[in-house]
Amino acid sequence: MQKYLLIALIAFQIQINGQTLEKEIFIIYEEVLNELQSTENITGLENKYDFTFILLLDSTNIELIEKTRYQHVDEFRNYAPGLSLTQQTVGFVTDKREIREIFQDQNSLKRILDCTNTYNSPNIAMTKFRYPIYIKGNQAIFETSGPTWSDTYSAILKNGVFQINWLGGDIE
């Protein structure tokens, strides 16, 4: 029953952070890997996913991703140094056991925006989450954005602490 409820939440229109979402909010690493391994036309998946985010979660299957002819395979190397904990690591204590729960909880989403405000627009009200969120286990790669910028983060949930690392950003 719980599994069906989660699928229903993800598959149908939902409201998160004031944004109505009509697509899946999570891309699961293992599911992408299975799809890559089982498809006959791997180049047809070139634009289906952000493979930079997939590689940031785990780059051990880079050769498989390169077969898709994804044009930005090397971009993950620009972000990868930020994956280790740095002075730009922020976070909070939580009672959530799975990282998905954090991204499904309005209070946790607000806490993420509050924690990352130092790297974002001075006007936190203009900050939005960009979906989908890429997940492997209790690790996630996600983006926030404002009117003229976006920031990419890695996050990990470990021992009741949700840690967020800024990986990079773009000013448009």
* pLDDT at residue 85 greater than cutoff 70: no
9 or 102, higher pLDDT: 102
Domain count, the chain: 1
> 163: pLDDT confidence band, cut at 50, 70 and 90?
very high
Say if residue 95's pLDDT is above 70.
Answer: yes
pLDDT at 36: 93
Q: For residue 39, what are the domain limits?
A: 2-171
What is the torsion angle, in degrees rounded to the nearest 10, for the CA atoms of residue 116, residue 121, residue 124 and residue 126? -130
Residue 45 has pLDDT above 80, yes or no: yes
This model's pTM is above 0.85 = no
